Structure 1
Amino acid sequence: MEVVIAAPDVLARLAAEAIEQLLRGRPDTVLGLATGSSPLAVYDELVRRHLEDGLSFAEASAYNLDEYVGLPADHPQRYRNVIEHDFTGRVDFAPGAVHGPDGLAEDLPAACVAYEAEMAAAGGVDLQIMGIGTDGHIAFNEPGSSLASRTRIKTLTDQTRADNARFFDGDVKQVPQHCLTQGLGTVMEARHIVLVATGRAKADAVHQLVEGPVSAMWPATILQHHPHVSVLIDNAAASRLQLADYFRSTYAAKPDWQGL
């Protein structure tokens, strides 16, 4: 696990550079995408590179981490619509190249199995962008989730619904109680995971992720067992790290040729 502490704009450039290197080397890269506020600067930087530098996503495909259950197909907070608004609709993904769990399926367990099979048939995710919740969840794997879990239906905690109420006019009652989410075992199969977290509100979760014991109470801690994780955080999110100075010095001494 590599921890990089820097200003948010620097973090966005680092994540975008890792994705660009993948796409330049293999245009049919499979990306994993996350919604929420954490990845937005990364997406904006990728859009800039697409418009100004010709970075193309035309042969790439993408898989979303999760989806609310029951939101109408045209609801602005349905994650397929959110990711199109925030990123995929602003670049040149081919029609049908962006996928997500089907939160409107009649048979939700079958839809989860089908989504797992679809990702496997695509060769798996090359690089997964994600954020982290204030309670340590990644995707919608809430505290108590099995560390070996696969894509499935989950009930959202009150904390997560309260955190997400800002996307629903501040009304927590409008936030769905259920979602479909890639499991922790599923997420761990991505070849490279880039986790972005900024702000003091994420400091406790980041501390547990990086320095705490691996525990289902802090689901993101499973990433300690992944062979290639980049944790990109600003000073506020790093404020509880005991090893913050060490992480700063190791990144400062990193060879120029070595990317994330």
Structure 2
Amino acid sequence: MEVVIRRTPEEVAATAAGIVADYVRSGPSVLGLATGSTPLATYADLIRRHRDEDLSFAQAVSFNLDEYVGLPAAHPESYRSVIRREFTSHVDLPDADVHGPDGNAEDVFAEAKRYEAAIDAAGGVDVQLLGIGTDGHIGFNEPGSSLASLTRIKTLTEQTREDNARFFESIDEVPIHVLTQGLGTISRARHLLLLATGAGKAEAVQAAVEGPVTAFCPASVLQLHPHVTVVVDDAAAGRLRLADYYRYVLANKPTGQGF
């Protein structure tokens, strides 16, 4: 695991966008896309690179991390809508190549298995963007989730629903159930890219990076992965005990060693 501490959220976004852009430029790639507030600046930076630097997504396909159950696909806060509005409609990534679980499937349990199989059939995810919840969840894998879990239906905690209520008129509109890639599914991506900004995420970041590997902090499963890049701003790094060491390592990276 490499922890990259940047001064500002803007620098976090630029670093993350650069990592994703390297995969896209390398040839056909499978991108794992996350929603929430934190990745939006990264998507904006990728859109800028597409517009100003001819970064093409024509050889990429993407898989969304999760989706609300029962929220109409056309609802502005469905994750299919959010990803299209905030990112894919602004680049040359066709809608047909942007995949997400169907939260309105007649059989959501079968849909979870179908989506898991679709990721496998695409060859797996090359780079997976991740945010982190205040309780340490990634995707919608709430505390207590199996570290080996696959795509499935989950029940959101009240804390997560409260955190997401800002995107709706009230918490009553936030669905209780979601379809989410599991921690085992996420862990099969070849490169995990976790982003966090702001002091409100500092405790969760510290638990994920430096705490024990435990289902109580689902993001701690990243410690078991061979290729993880955690990009945080100074505020989100505020509780890291080894922050000075992480900065030292970054300043002294061997020549030619990327992320």
TM value normalised by structure 1: 0.97
CA offset at residue 256 of structure 1?
4.7
Determine if contact 1:143/1:219 at 8 Å carries over to the other structure: yes
- Give the distance between the partners of 1:255 and 1:12, measured in 2 at CA: 23
State the identity as a percent: 61
Are 1:104 and 2:137 an aligned pair?
Answer: no
Q: Tell me which amino acid in the other structure corresponds to 1:220.
A: A
Determine if contact 1:5/1:248 at 8 Å carries over to the other structure: yes
> Who is 2:17 aligned against?
16
Are 1:228 and 2:233 an aligned pair?
Answer: no
- Give the distance between the partners of 1:200 and 1:256, measured in 2 at CA: 32
- Give the distance between the partners of 2:92 and 2:255, measured in 1 at CA: 30
> Who is 2:213 aligned against?
214
2:96 aligns to what SS in structure 1?
Answer: coil
CA offset at residue 257 of structure 1?
2.4
* TM alignment of 1:1-260, pairs within 5 A: 1-6=1-6, 7-26=8-27, 28-169=28-169, 171-260=170-259
2:95 aligns to what SS in structure 1?
Answer: coil
- Give the distance between the partners of 1:43 and 1:20, measured in 2 at CA: 11
Q: Tell me which amino acid in the other structure corresponds to 2:242.
A: L
Q: Deviations over 1:159-187 (max 9, x none)?
A: 00000000003x11110000000000000
CA offset at residue 73 of structure 1?
2.1
- Give the distance between the partners of 2:145 and 2:23, measured in 1 at CA: 31
Determine if contact 1:59/1:94 at 8 Å carries over to the other structure: no
Determine if contact 2:12/2:232 at 8 Å carries over to the other structure: yes
CA offset at residue 224 of structure 1?
0.2
Determine if contact 2:88/2:94 at 8 Å carries over to the other structure: no
Q: List alignment gaps of at least 5 residues for structure 1.
A: none
Computed over aligned residues only, the root mean square deviation of the Cα atoms, in angstroms, reads 0.8
- Give the distance between the partners of 1:192 and 1:218, measured in 2 at CA: 20
1:82 aligns to what SS in structure 2?
Answer: helix
1:62 aligns to what SS in structure 2?
Answer: strand
- Give the distance between the partners of 1:126 and 1:101, measured in 2 at CA: 18
Determine if contact 1:140/1:181 at 8 Å carries over to the other structure: yes
TM value normalised by structure 2: 0.98
Q: List alignment gaps of at least 5 residues for structure 2.
A: none
- Give the distance between the partners of 2:24 and 2:237, measured in 1 at CA: 30
